[in-house]
A and B are shown apart, each in its own frame.
Chain A
Amino acid sequence: MYFFQKNKYKIMLVASTAVLVVCIIVGSAINRRKAGGASDALGTVFTPLQSGVTGASDSVSGFFNYLTNMKGYEKENEKLREKIASLEDELRKTDNLKSENERLRKMLDLKENEKDYKTVAADVVAFEMDNFSKSYTINKGIKDGITQSCAVITPYGLVGYVSEVGRNWAKVCPIVDSKVSVSASIMRVGNTAIVQGDIGLMEDGLCKMTYVSKETGLEVGDSIETSGSGGVIPAGIYIGKVTEIKNDVTGVSQEAVIKPGVDFSDVNEVMVIKDN
Chain B
Amino acid sequence: MNYVLSYLTLAVLFVLQTTLGRYIDICGIAPDIIFVYVLCYSMYNYPVRAAVLSIIAGIIVDLYSSTHVGLNALLYMYIGLAVSNFASTLMKKNVWTVALGVVVLSILYHTVVLITQYVIAGHSGFVYPFVRIALPTAVYDGVVSLVLSLWAQWLSMDKIRGL
| Partner-B contacts on A (CB < 8 A) | 9, 12-13, 16-17, 20-24, 26-28, 32, 36, 38-39, 42-43, 46, 49-50, 53-54, 57, 61, 125-133, 135, 137, 178-179, 198-200, 202-203, 265
Contact = CB atoms under 8 A, between A and B. Distances in A.
B65 A133 contact: yes
A22 B81 CA distance: 20
Nearest to A60: B23
A32 B32 contact: no
A103 to B, nearest CB: 50
Which residue among A21, A24, A50 has the maximum number of chain B CB atoms within 10 Å of its CB? A24
B118 A127 contact: no
Classify the interface of chain A: helix, strand, loop or mixed: helix
Interface in B85-142: 110, 113-114, 117-118, 121, 123-125, 128-129, 132-133, 137
A23 B73 contact: yes
B74 A199 contact: no
Contact of A20 (B60, B77, B110, B128): B77
A22 to B, nearest CB: 8
B28 A203 contact: yes
B109 to A, nearest CB: 10
B63 interface: yes
Given A20-B77, A129-B34, A46 B14 contact: yes
Contact of B27 (A137, A179, A203): A203
A200 B132 contact: yes
Interface of B: 14-23, 27-30, 32, 34, 47-48, 51, 55, 60-65, 67-71, 73-74, 77, 81, 110, 113-114, 117-118, 121, 123-125, 128-129, 132-133, 137
B48 A9 contact: yes
B123 A53 contact: no
B23 A57 contact: yes
Main secondary structure of the interface of B (DSSP, over half): helix
Contacts of A130: 32, 65, 110, 113
A154 B125 CA distance: 30
Contact of A129 (B51, B64, B69, B118): B64
Contacts of B60: 42
11 contacts: A12-B51, A26-B69, A39-B69, A127-B22, A129-B61, A132-B124, A179-B123, A199-B128, A199-B129, A200-B129, A202-B28
Contact of B32 (A17, A38, A49, A129): A129
A129 B73 contact: no
Nearest to B127: A200
Interface centre among A32, A127, A133 (most CB of B within 10 A): A127
A57 B20 contact: yes
A265 B123 CA distance: 21
A141 to B, nearest CB: 15
A27 B69 CA distance: 5
Given A17-B74, A46-B14, A46-B15, A127 B21 contact: yes
A199 B118 contact: yes
A50 B123 CA distance: 29
Given A199-B129, A265-B22, 17 more contacts: A12-B51, A13-B51, A24-B69, A27-B70, A38-B63, A50-B19, A53-B16, A53-B19, A57-B19, A126-B19, A128-B65, A129-B17, A129-B18, A130-B110, A132-B129, A178-B123, A203-B133
A127 to B, nearest CB: 6
Contacts of B28: 131, 202-203, 265
A179 B113 CA distance: 14
